[in-house]
Structure formats: structure tokens, C-alpha cells
Structure 1
Amino acid sequence: EEQEDKQNESKTTQEKKPTDPKSNEKHEENPPSQTPNPPATTTPTQTKEVHPHQKLIDNFCELTGLKEEKMAKIFSIDALMRLSNYKVNDMLDFYFSNGSALSQICPPGTKPSETKATHKSTQERKSAAKEVKEFKIPKEVKLCCGHVESSLSPSSIPDMLTLLEIVKMGGLHATHVDSGYGEFSNGTFSIMMPLKPKW
């Protein structure tokens, strides 16, 4: 009987023992690990360098129907603009007057840094333009070089200045060489001058 009483007491103590509330709760599943998205890396966009005379180039391409990429393979637009005093009308006249010879006068790939004209500052260009504006065409000009002498009419002076500028830039090669002198021709007239002149 004593053993039965002890067993009954142990049962009652087990019943009175408080149950752990956590034991009855269902174990929640571990939530999926949420890793923060890495910050989006933005690659800097490389902006195409705009030509300082891009508007003039666009006007020239629009009037001639040429594409700038194709034009760059035929002749140098920088050299053409330099020879035309950065005027679209003069560029068109120079382009249509010279035709296929333009690739020799203005070789493709000539960069502004390779021409002496581009080394001038803005102030020098303004002063040069002012000098050209105030220039008065003389009645007659004589060019003497060795055994060649030529008289030009006033209307031929701009063509002669253009020819000299082309020779100075190295866009025209001598067709005939004689004792350190070379003959340069643009199709209209020819001049004989030293192969290494002092400009």
C-alpha cells in the first residue's frame, strides 16, 4: 500500500508540473536568407568628342550629300575648312572645283594638330581675319623665282594665294624638279619655286 501511495503521489506531481509553452509551439521554418542585392554598377558612358566646327561640317555634308565617315576616307575636312577660311560657300566652291584632286590637296587623315594654322590662338585668328578683310587687291602682282616671271591680273590673285597655301601645307607635290626648284600646278596655272622655300 505504501508503494501504491508513492506512485500516486509521483503521478500527481507530474500532472501539477507546469508545461513549457514553447514545447507546444510549432517550430517555424527558418525563413529564407534574404541577401541584399548588390548596388548596380553603372559604367560611365563615353561621350563622343564634338568637333569645334561640327555645325559647319554638318552644313557641308547636308549640301553635298556626303556622310562624314565616308568623307573622312576621301579627304581631310580640317584641311578643307582651313583653306576655305571656315566658310561653307568657299568649301563648296573648293570641293566642286577640284573634284578628284581634292584627295591630293587635302589628304585624308590630316588632323588639326598637324597643320600650322591650328596652332594659332583665337586672338591670332581674329587678327588674321581682320588683316584679310582690310586687304586691298593690287592692280598687278609679279612673282619672280629663278628664271620664271609671271604677271597676274587682280582676279587671279585669290587663286594664286590658294595655290601657295596648298603648297605650304604640303598638299601639292612638284611635277617637275630642276636644280632645287619645283614646278607646282593646280590645273589653271603653274609656278616655279624652291623646293624648300622660307615662308
Structure 2
Amino acid sequence: MSKKAQRGQGSRSKLRDYFIENVGFVLDSDTLREIAGTSEWGRRVRELRNEEGMNIVTHNDRSTLKPGEYMLLDLKPVPSFERGISKETRALVLDRNGFTCQMCGAAAGEPNPYDANRKTRLHIGHIIDKSMGGTDEPGNLRAICSVCNEGASNLTLDRPKAIKLLAQIRRAPASDQLEVLEWIIKKFPAHAKKLIGE
């Protein structure tokens, strides 16, 4: 087992123990991050829920919980799901999604738009969660960054169409339009040279 996998197992164990000690209590994301000792604490919580069958709920499951709040309802296990996404499927989905988060638009390696102290790390997320009957087929998978993934369980956002994006850009101040242009040129340098005619 690699050191990274061992660290993942260690943080998952810490979170499992903490949830069990606090059954029925609302736990916040800052505390869970601290307990896990890793920025990938959200993934570990999902593993406890989906792979080990722990009955952990979030604001997507209970209206009484706020975003970033979690609760282990009881110790009775719920149906769990093994991870079944192959490396080939992961590569296909990342390539199809342009190595870009399908919620916030951040590209892999860029500073995350919601947390500039973190570089964007992409994961593969389910559009319809496995706990709600979703599958590991490529059509039900999308690239999603770790920041969005921490609060996106069972949440699906429609991607905006070009006409809506253009309308928003047209309404934006010139300084914001220039920032968008610079970002597009940086993201698609070969296309930009063709359009400019270099």
C-alpha cells in the first residue's frame, strides 16, 4: 500500500471514530477537516458513507442541516457501494470535461476560485449519486474540483449555454471582459493565434 493510501486510511479511521463518538450530533466541516488532518477529508467522509455504509447525512438529505454540516444518524449500516471507476474511465471523463471542474469552471492546477490558497485538484464525481441509484457509467460522471466536491453531494447544476455566458459577459464592466479574454487566450493559445491571424 502506498504512503498516500495509508494516509487516506488513517484519516478515514479518525473520521469514522469521531462520527461514532458523536452519533446524532451535528458536526461542521472545519472540525472534520481538523480531525482528518487532510484537505481530502470530504472524500473520506464520502467513502465512509458510500463504501462502508455509515448513515451520514448532509444538508442535501436533511433541511435542518446547513451546508457544511454532517450528522451520523445511527450505527445501523445502510447499503454501501464499492468503488468501481477504472483508470480508463477516469481519463475519459477528465478529457471529455477539458480537465475543468464542471461546477465552478476551475482548471486543474489553477488557484481555486473559492479558495485561492488551494490549487485546483480534480476528482471524478457522480451526477446522480450512487446512494440515489446512479451508476459508474461515463455518462453519469463528471470532473469536479475538491472544493466543489466537499459540498456537492447529490447536487447537479446545469452547465450554462454559450448564449447565456455571452449575455453575462456583455453586461460585465470592460475590466471584467478583459479578464475573461485574458483567461480564454491563456486557456486556448493555439486557437487565439489562429483568430488573431499570427
**What TM-score, normalized to structure 1?**
0.25
User: Relative CO higher for 1 or 2, CA cutoff 8 Å, sep ≥ 6?
Assistant: 2
Which structure has the bigger radius of gyration?
1
